[in-house]
Amino acid sequence: MAHKASTTRAVQGETSAYYYCLLTSHPHPGSPKHPSSERLVVRTELAGRGMSQRIESLLGASRSLVVRHRTTRPPDAGIPQPAPVVVVTDSVTAAQGFASRAVLVAEGAMTNAELGELGHADVGGIVLRHALAWELVTAIVTVGVGDRWVSPAVGARLLRRLRPSARGLPPSLTARERQVLEHIASGLSNMEIAEELTISVRTVKHHVTNVLMKPGARDRAHAVSMAQRAGVWQPVYD
């Protein structure tokens, strides 16, 4: 990990900052995930000083987590971290390197090719630069508890690029489960899916469990990826 971190800093051209935080609330009331620790370390790998200052300001104003200490000194190599580490970066390459522990700050004006790359990138969260005030902390806390989060705008664009396949649904998925899967692809939480479909959160959890178990998906993002590869959706290019 030390080698990967040094490579990332070289790409970014910016010294890392580490924010040692305490979690004060759960990201999504309907999420099945629960924090394994009340502590969280937010590491920033950003290209510009202006963005670094903005991220620091948003963290300082957050009610979902409290920054107890900030430092630019990296943790000692080989010493286990006392809390999950979430890396906030504006580099796709760096985000892919940190994978499920990364939150990528993406541009809003993305081409279809760039959007497709983001859709297949194995990152924990994607937020839009112009929506940081509303999305950043939610994404950080969600990724910190081991879940994934994508900006609703990004999820909606990914979904609009997909159309139903002529082959139809796999026999193992019901029509309702497919609806739930489509909402998962849009980045909605269980609570939000329940509101969209006018059903209970408990029922949504049941459908989500089936959506994950039937194809053998390890998490929500994996289920969406597997559905795309299986032909549940086919890409629509502009």
Summarised one tens digit per residue, pLDDT across range 207-232 is 888 888 777 777 788 787 777 666 55
- d(C-alpha 177, C-alpha 183), whole Å: 10
This model's pTM is above 0.75:
no
Contact 155, 185 (CB under 8 A): yes
Q: Which of 152, 182, 208 delimits the end of a domain? A: 152
- Average the pLDDT over each of 21-30, 102-111, 221-230 and give the range with the smallest value: 21-30
| DSSP string for 173-216 | S-HHHHHHHHHHHTT--HHHHHHHHT--HHHHHHHHHHHHHTTT
Q: Which is more confident, 88 or 144? A: 88
Q: How confident is the model at residue 51 (pLDDT cuts 50, 70, 90)?
A: confident
Do 41 and 138 fall into the same domain?
Answer: yes
Residue 11 has what pLDDT?
41
Domain final residue, candidates 102, 126, 152 = 152
Domain identity same for 46 and 104: yes
Residue 88, pLDDT > 90, answer yes
Residues 65 and 127 in one domain: yes
Q: Do 38 and 85 have their domain in common? A: yes
- Give the integer Cα–Cα distance in Å for 216 and 214: 6
- pLDDT above 70 covers a percentage of the chain that reads 68
* Together in a domain, 165 and 145: no
- Who wins on pLDDT, 174 or 111? 174
Range of the domain at 180: 161-235
Of 152, 180, 198, the residue at which a domain comes to its end is: 152
pLDDT (tens digit, 9 = 90+) per residue, 151-209?
Answer: 877 776 666 555 444 344 455 678 888 888 888 888 888 889 999 899 998 899 888 88
In percent, the amount of the chain with pLDDT more than 90 equals 13
pLDDT at 119 over 70: no
In this structure, the answer to whether residues 26 and 98 fall within a common structural domain is yes
Same domain, 34 and 75: yes
Query: What is the spatial distance between Cα 195 and Cα 128, in angstroms, rounded to a whole number?
Result: 24
Question: Quick check: helix, strand or coil at residue 106?
Answer: strand
